[in-house]
Each structure stands twice: as structure tokens, then as C-alpha cells.
Amino acid sequence: MKYKYRHVETYNGVKIDLRANDKQTLHNKVEQRRARIDKGLIDGSMLLSEFGSQFLENCKRNTVSEAWFRDLSYTLDTIVDGIGDKPMRNIKPLHLQGYLNSLVALSDSTIKKRYDLIKQLFRHAYANGVTPDDYTKQLVRPVGTPSVHGRSITDTERKYLLQVLEGHRGELFCKIMLYCGLRPSEVQALQWKDINLKTETISVNKSMKVNGTIGSPKTDAAVRTVPIPAHLIPLLKANYGSPFDYIFSHNHTWRRRMWENVRREMNIAMGCKMYRNELVPPYPLADDFELYNLRHTYCTDLEKMGVPINIASRFMGHSSILITSKIYTHASTEALETGRGLINQNTDIIGILDGTNC
């Protein structure tokens, strides 16, 4: 059911998101919700989103980092979208298991993240008398796709990403990741003096920390010089500033909102339906389409181009070539055919392989 009016706020650390068909009813709902929050009441009529927000605020806010808390908040939002923002008393183990089962196409790490938060939420609900039993005892975590630190984007995702990035505020940020392989924290620490348009290289020598300050990169190996592809030079020239100016904001919120908007615009471009300016599930864009995937794609692009793994490892700033090998071992059809072609062109090698030249 769609409502005419909506009220969203965070009251005493608890998220309130209410809807009604008239302003007076909405006002009454908001006042009642505030009163319950003031009294610290938790009961079955509390919506999943409200209960989850209160749980995160009371149990996680002061025990995890800011970045981790933001990640938990995002995970909560996806769970609420998947299960539905129902009163807690109306949610049963069948709903929870059904939602988890719907995630099988996602990475195993993504499923585990949501499964763990659901278990924590509903154990907390049972401990506070919101549910009559500990529903988590009955839950089974489905197995997803093998987890890697990010994944390469598909050809379709690349097509729509580049389409959306044209003129977008995040265009330069995302393209530096996609075409130069920098980590998000390294991109945010860039100054214009780190961009050498004469040699067409980027000097990576610092990184943005969780608190927004600039410091040393992740490891000594992360200090590196990477080439800038020729097609990225015009965009850099068009935005070029004073040498000691930072290219991007040091605000984590800016980066998160930029990427959320990129994802939103991609979903729209891919045909996602909308209602009152909000996306309506199902979403065409995969849930695990993350900003870090652009860096992973850079590495697999190097493999497709035949760049030796030791050079790719240096460009990526990996502390060990073994880290790079975990990505390079995802051999693509293009890489396989390139290798086949090189072998077929060299009769000496073919002779050695088939034993005729031994």
C-alpha cells in the first residue's frame, strides 16, 4: 500500500520512518513513536527498521569503527528491503529463512554478513521479549558463490557504468579506479601534484584513513607509480587544479553517496521501475556491484592484455604476488586464446610440447 505522506528522522539515536494518508494521522504516529522511544519501550508492534536501528545504536555504535557501523546500517537497510518493514511480531522464522534462501546468487561473504546481522537482531529480540522464541536456532545459512575481495564487473555492467559516469560528479574518481587500479582510499588522498601529465603517470604515496586524515599507504608496496591510459588524459586535463590541492573530498559520506547515486542511475538506465522517485524492486543491478569491484576489474583487464603478473602486482600495490595470483588465476577466455595463439605461432615451442624436438 502506498501512502501520501512520509516522515523520516533519527530521534534519540533511533530511526523513525512512518507513512500515512493524511498529515494529522502521520503527526500522531510520530508523536506516539517518540513517546515510546523516550520510555525505552520495545514491543512486537515496533517495525523491523526501528528495532534494527535501535539495536545498532545501543549495541554497536560505541563498539565498532565508524566505517563498520555504516556498513552495518547499509546491511540493515538491505535486510529490511528484502523481508519488508513489518512489525516484529509479524515476522516468523519462515520469512527469515525465505529471505536468506533468496540470496544464493550473491557472494558467500555477503550472505554471511546478512545472516550474522539477522542472528544478532533476533537473538536481541528474544532476549527483550519481542519474539516468543529464539528464531535463529532454526536458521540455515545458504552457500553463495565463492567469496573474493571484490569481483570483476561484467561487460553489461561496464557498459551502463560508463554511460552513467559521463558528466557524473563521480566520473573522475571511478575512472581512476577502473583504469589505474587505485584503492578508494588512495584516490581520495590524491593531490594534483601526484598526477604527471607529461609522463602520464600517477604517483601513489598516501592514503585516506577512516577518520578522514591523510597518512601512509596500506603497505610499503602500495607506494608506487602507475601508468595513466591515454584515453583518461583529456578528463584529467579538463579538471586539473593547483598542485597542492586535493582532487577529491576527504569526506567518507561524499564517497558513499556518490557511489549510491551511481548505482541508482545504473539501475534506472537498466530499466528499474520507479514510484515517486524511489526505485521499485527487483533491482537489475547485482547487489554485490561495489566500488571496490572497479579496482578488481583493473587487475583482470591487465591479465586480458597479457601484462606479466609481476608487473601487475606492482601496479596494484600488492604486498605479495600471491595476492595478485588469486585474481590472475580467474583465467578468462581471452587470456586462454591469447596464450594458444602465441604457442601456435612458435613452432619450436610446439615441437617441445609434442616431443618432436626433444
Based on the fold, state whether residues 67 and 134 are members of the same structural domain: yes
What gap in Å lies between CA 22 and CA 3, rounded to an integer? 9
Number of domains the chain is built from: 2
pLDDT, residue 19, reads: 82
In a domain, 316, yes or no: no
Percent helix, strand and coil across the chain, each to the nearest 5: 55, 10, 35
pLDDT, residue 186, reads: 96
**Before 284, cis peptide (omega within 30)?**
no
Main-chain dihedrals φ then ψ at residue 133, nearest 5 degrees: -150, 165
State which residues form the domain around 64: 42-138
Based on the fold, state whether residues 185 and 250 are members of the same structural domain: yes
Based on the fold, state whether residues 184 and 260 are members of the same structural domain: yes
Based on the fold, state whether residues 168 and 258 are members of the same structural domain: yes
Based on the fold, state whether residues 166 and 73 are members of the same structural domain: no
pLDDT, residue 340, reads: 58
In a domain, 188, yes or no: yes
In a domain, 72, yes or no: yes
Beta-bridge mates of residue 6: 19
Residues of the chain with pLDDT under 70: 1-2, 13-15, 36-43, 67, 146-149, 329-358
Domain boundary among 89, 107, 138: 138
Based on the fold, state whether residues 62 and 118 are members of the same structural domain: yes
pLDDT, residue 1, reads: 52
Measured CA angle at 125 (ends 119, 129), to 5 deg: 145
pLDDT, residue 182, reads: 97
In a domain, 95, yes or no: yes
pLDDT, residue 358, reads: 41
In a domain, 7, yes or no: no
Enumerate residues 6+ apart whose C-beta is below 8 A from 204.
182, 186, 194, 217, 222, 223, 224, 225, 226, 317
For residue 160, what is its C-alpha cell?
Answer: 551502463
In a domain, 299, yes or no: no
Main-chain dihedrals φ then ψ at residue 208, nearest 5 degrees: -90, 130
Based on the fold, state whether residues 190 and 100 are members of the same structural domain: no
pLDDT, residue 217, reads: 86
pLDDT, residue 16, reads: 74
* DSSP codes joined into one string, 298-356: HHHHHHHTT--HHHHHHHHT-SSHHHHHHHHTS--HHHHHHHHHHHHH-HHHHHHHHTT
pLDDT, residue 332, reads: 53
What gap in Å lies between CA 109 and CA 76, rounded to an integer? 15
What gap in Å lies between CA 181 and CA 184, rounded to an integer? 9
Based on the fold, state whether residues 194 and 250 are members of the same structural domain: yes
- In this structure, are strands 5-11 and 14-20 parallel, antiparallel, or unpaired? antiparallel
In a domain, 12, yes or no: no
Q: Give me the CATH number covering residue 57.
A: 1.10.150.130
Based on the fold, state whether residues 171 and 125 are members of the same structural domain: no
Based on the fold, state whether residues 159 and 243 are members of the same structural domain: yes
For residue 70, what is its C-alpha cell?
Answer: 555504516
What gap in Å lies between CA 306 and CA 310, rounded to an integer? 12
For residue 282, what is its C-alpha cell?
Answer: 527487483
